[in-house]
């Protein structure tokens, strides 16, 4: 162990992309449910000129995080004095699965064994536009559309027994919770 020299560490890719300081979004909730937002002390008004509300909290977070491309420290101060603090991280880009360099030769059996997915759509409304919607028996995630609707395609072959199985759509911001039975 070397106690005389400076300690050296090798930065990871994550360290290289993390900002030294996070923008600080402060959201204050009024008694009537309207929100006042600032980012690093600068007022952050709604783009359409209307007041931010609890119902527009998702779009407010999307705007402050630039559609989840940057990390932001969020502090929400409720009118009852309670405070909630969190860091909203940017979305991690979904990585494509690498194809094998050399294609596997097709056999007679593999030509007949191609699996066609059996899909079923599960849909519900009442979500905040753009919010992350969990699909459970957690098989995937989807996003709510601009009108607050959410859709997911469930591959029935990935479930042990799809008959009678229930699927949950859960809005991460709105808390909208919908259960649908697969038939």
What tens digit of pLDDT does each residue of 56-108 get?
Answer: 888 888 889 888 788 899 999 998 988 988 888 887 665 555 656 666 666 66
3-state SS assignment for residue 17:
helix
Q: The tokens of 86 are what?
A: 């969190």
pLDDT at 47 over 70: yes
Q: The tokens of 125 are what?
A: 């409304």
pLDDT band at residue 125 under the 50/70/90 scheme: confident
φ/ψ bin of 109: left (φ > 0), alpha (ψ from -120 to 50), beta (otherwise): alpha
Q: What is each CA distance from 129 to 5, 40, 144, in whole angstroms?
A: 54, 25, 5
Q: Cα(first)–Cα(last) distance of the chain, in Å?
A: 64
Helical spans, DSSP H, in the chain: 13-17, 57-64, 108-112
Q: Smallest Cα–Cα separation from 129: which of 152, 148, 143, 142?
A: 148
Between CA 67 and CA 18 the distance in angstroms is 17
pLDDT band at residue 2 under the 50/70/90 scheme: very low
Between CA 80 and CA 28 the distance in angstroms is 11
pLDDT digits (tens, 9 = 90+) for 157-172: 766 665 667 788 888 8
The reported pTM is: 0.44
CB atoms near residue 130 (< 10 Å) = 18
């Amino acid at each position: 162990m070397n106690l005389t020299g400076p300690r050296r560490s090798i930065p990871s890719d994550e360290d290289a992309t993390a900002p030294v300081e996070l923008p600080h979004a402060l959201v204050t909730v009024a008694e009537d449910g309207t929100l006042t937002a600032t980012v690093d002390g600068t007022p952050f008004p709604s783009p359409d000129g209307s007041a931010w509300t609890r119902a527009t909290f998702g779009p407010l977070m999307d705007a402050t995080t630039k559609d989840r491309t940057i990390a932001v420290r969020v502090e929400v101060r409720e009118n009852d004095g309670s405070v909630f603090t969190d860091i909203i991280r940017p979305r991690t880009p979904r990585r494509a699965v690498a194809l094998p360099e050399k294609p596997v030769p097709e056999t007679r059996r593999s030509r007949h064994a191609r699996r066609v997915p059996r899909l079923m759509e599960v849909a519900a409304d009442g979500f905040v536009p753009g919010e992350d919607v969990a699909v459970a028996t957690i098989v995937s995630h989807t996003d709510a559309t601009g009108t607050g609707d959410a859709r997911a395609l469930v591959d029935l072959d990935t479930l042990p027994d799809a008959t009678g199985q229930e699927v949950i759509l859960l809005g991460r911001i709105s808390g909208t919770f919908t259960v649908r039975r697969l038939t």
